[in-house]
Amino acid sequence: MKTLRLIIALLLVGFALGVNAQVTKRDANTRGRDKDKKEGNAAITDRQQSFYEVREPSDADLQWMKVIYRSIDLTQGKNPALYYPELPNADGENLFFIIMRLLANNRISAYEYLDGREMFTDEFKINVGEMLDRFHIYYTEAKGSTAKNPLYEFENADIPSNEVLSYYIIEKWEFDTRSNQMKARVEALCPVLHRMDEWGGEAVKYPMFWVLLNDIRPYMAQQYVFTDDDNNLARYSIDDFFKLNMYSGEIYKTKNLRNLSLRQMFPEDEAYKHAQDSIEQRLRSFNQDLWVPPLEVLQARAEAEEKAREEAEGELAEGEEGAEQVEGDAAGDGDGEKVTRTTKRGSKSSSKSSDKKSSKAKAKEKKTKIKERKPKSSTQTVNTGVRSVRNRKK
């Protein structure tokens, strides 16, 4: 009996120790996840990375491509969704905070800003410490930092998130023969600092570095934002924001052989704006221009054109009638002065044309009018005869 009691006691003690170990391990895992979540750098597996990655289409499937450089102003349209909150809070953190924390923990790579000759290779990777020193961002080396794997720490107040007021993005418009559609995808983005000098004045733009969007997609997919002031529900992630092309920005450059920006090619404001609009219109209407519209659409277009033509002819006819009426009133007065009254649109121009027509008609009447000849008297005939005889004698 004593032996049985001893065995039962040992089993109970062993069970209690196992439960305590599981709870301790679970608490440790929970604390680790909370720490990663707090830092905003939860580990991403290769499988999760491949799930969010947008693969580039093969060159064999592409028939046409246009590389566009676009500037996104974070104060316009729906773009403020990438700016707020300025500091991390219960709603999360903005895009620049996500990028900086990933760089500090050596989770992603950044590349030099080369102004039109971007090369995303190991040769052009930036040194994060040198970048932080160049833009005067205070930091400290994190625990476990080595020369091969540098790690950094900084306070939220030291990250100049409020100065990043715009982003440069590289946008690729590609026509894929597999889907027979034109699609736009963002390849990379560059945060741009807007800083003023010590003496104030206009802020100067400082592009910082390029980051490949595929590298940060898994982290952007975890941060949700709201894009409408009327609906404060965060329905879209930052990854959705770029995938669905919800951003708005102006084109400042297209990839070309001379590596010139649009401002260099079109110095005048009017020509610069026209070039931007023409490029945008061509890209947006590319899919529509590929295919012949259905018969119903063609018929609707023809009817609309016919209706517009009839309206234009009706306005012209009304203008001519008004001009003729004005001419009749002026002729009845008999003062010979030209009367110009504007009855409807186009009446003034039609009155001038009617004046020309009336003057031409009067000229024709003068030409066709037969001159009346008066009969000559006999004295005149004799005199002319005598005069002619005398002239002959002479």
> 58 is in which domain, residue-wise?
46-265
Q: Is residue 214 part of a domain?
A: yes
When pLDDT is averaged across residues 258-279 and rounded to a whole number, the result is 94
pLDDT at position 252 over 60: yes
Would you state the pLDDT for residue 236?
93
Q: Is residue 109 part of a domain?
A: yes
62 and 179 in contact (C-beta within 8 Å)?
Answer: no
pLDDT at position 187 over 80: yes
Stretch among 87-96, 201-210, 358-367 having the lowest mean pLDDT = 358-367
Q: Is residue 286 part of a domain?
A: no
Would you state the pLDDT for residue 368?
46
Total domains in the chain come to 1
**Is the pTM value of this prediction over 0.75?**
no
When pLDDT is averaged across residues 85-93 and rounded to a whole number, the result is 90
Q: Is residue 314 part of a domain?
A: no
pLDDT at position 379 over 70: no
Q: Is residue 113 part of a domain?
A: yes
pLDDT class for 233, splitting at 50, 70, 90? confident
Q: Is residue 108 part of a domain?
A: yes
Q: Is residue 257 part of a domain?
A: yes
In tens, the pLDDT along 32-49 reads 444 444 444 456 666 666
pLDDT class for 211, splitting at 50, 70, 90? very high
When pLDDT is averaged across residues 340-352 and rounded to a whole number, the result is 46
pLDDT at position 85 over 50: yes
Q: Is residue 200 part of a domain?
A: yes
